[in-house]
């Protein structure tokens, strides 16, 4: 699918899934544009099931609609912003499968516009990543301010979030440290994280956008990414954080799976299915837990509005 369908999710659904086939803004390797359908295949793989760890059936759930893929036609990816704005404006929640991390800036912009239109000025971001993605300038010298090294610089420059919390960073430069300090970014970098203090006790006031770059994981757990950065989180670390932080998850994304670098997708299942790679299965697992959190948030919001 090369374009977003012209319809919105059904009135009964509360979450829209959207694929973003983007890798033109990558700084090292391409290949992430193929990831959305690879994650979907892993999500539906016969080797697992469609339930979250909390017992939510995500495979056959009328509250979730998959809207297919969107291939943005410009560097600024305005079509992604428009899609996100439309979905949130119709009181849905959005989970996007990337794609490289450049997609987060236009998605956040669209979510922010929709929230502001209904009088909500708060938008928190929980960002899991090996990299801060705070570069002010184009690190490739290609006159591209929208590369995957810069989405949070653009977000902060435009005041699109009220709070940015970054977890798992282990590649700061002097420039990105200065950027983080200038914009009061809350950082839980790998040097400050210990097993005794994990997961960090995070609580957010107002809507939360969760963005998971798979290279936040140590390469031992997620080899199918473009940038190997040793010393990262485990899969259980990421799942524990997703499951335990306090906040109303309005939107999320899972980015930077590079299927061409993944391992384990060999052989054939007894049903004739080509097995998914290790990192694709990790991405699908994280996607399931994010969907469960978003359904939980939607239920809590409905209960709150009903009681008032």
| Residues annotated within a binding site for Mn(2+) | 101, 129, 131, 133, 213, 215
Query: Which of 57, 4, 128 has the alpha carbon at shortest distance from 292?
Result: 57
Query: Which of 106, 105, 108, 161 has the alpha carbon at shortest distance from 133?
Result: 105
Q: How far apart are CA 48 and CA 11, in angstroms?
A: 29
Q: How far apart are CA 244 and CA 92, in angstroms?
A: 22
| Contact criterion met (CB below 8 Å) for 112 and 127 | no
Burial class of residue 290 in the structure, from the number of CB atoms within 10 Å of its CB (0-12 exposed, 13-18 middle, 19+ buried)? buried
Q: Crossing angle of helices 104-117/78-89, nearest 10°?
A: 40
Q: How far apart are CA 63 and CA 52, in angstroms?
A: 14
Binding residue positions: 101, 129, 131, 133, 213, 215
| DSSP for 50-107, written as a single string | SB-TT--B-TT-TTEEEEEEE--SSTT-HHHHHHHHHHHHTT-EEEEEESSGGGHHHH
Which structure tokens are listed for 22? 């983007």
């Amino acid at each position: 699918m090369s374009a977003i369908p012209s319809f919105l999710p059904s009135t009964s659904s509360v979450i829209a899934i959207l694929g973003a086939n983007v890798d033109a803004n990558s700084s090292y390797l391409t290949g992430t544009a193929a990831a959305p359908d690879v994650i979907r295949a892993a999500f539906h793989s016969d080797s697992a099931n469609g339930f979250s760890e909390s017992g939510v059936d995500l495979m056959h759930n009328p509250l979730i609609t998959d809207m297919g893929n969107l291939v943005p036609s410009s560097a600024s990816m305005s079509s992604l912003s428009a899609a996100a704005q439309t979905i949130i404006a119709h009181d849905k929640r959005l989970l996007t499968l990337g794609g490289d991390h450049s997609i987060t800036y236009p998605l956040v912009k669209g979510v922010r516009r929709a929230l502001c239109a209904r009088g909500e000025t708060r938008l928190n971001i929980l960002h899991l990543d090996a990299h801060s993605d705070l570069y002010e300038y184009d690190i490739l010298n290609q006159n591209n301010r929208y590369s995957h090294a810069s989405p949070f610089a653009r977000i902060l420059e435009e005041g699109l979030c009220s709070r940015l919390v970054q977890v798992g960073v282990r590649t700061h430069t002097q420039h990105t440290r200065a950027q983080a300090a200038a914009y009061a970014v809350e950082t839980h970098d790998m040097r400050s994280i210990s097993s005794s203090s994990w997961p960090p006790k995070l609580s957010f006031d107002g809507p939360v956008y969760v963005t998971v770059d798979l290279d936040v994981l140590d390469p031992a757990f997620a080899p199918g990414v473009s940038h190997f950065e040793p010393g990262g989180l485990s899969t259980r670390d990421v799942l524990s954080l997703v499951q335990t932080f306090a906040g109303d998850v309005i939107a999320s994304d899972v980015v930077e799976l590079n299927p061409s670098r993944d391992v384990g997708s060999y052989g054939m299942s007894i049903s004739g299915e080509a097995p998914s790679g290790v990192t694709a299965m990790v991405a699908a697992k994280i996607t399931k837990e994010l969907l469960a959190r978003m359904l939980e948030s939607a239920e809590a919001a409905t209960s709150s509005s009903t009681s008032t």
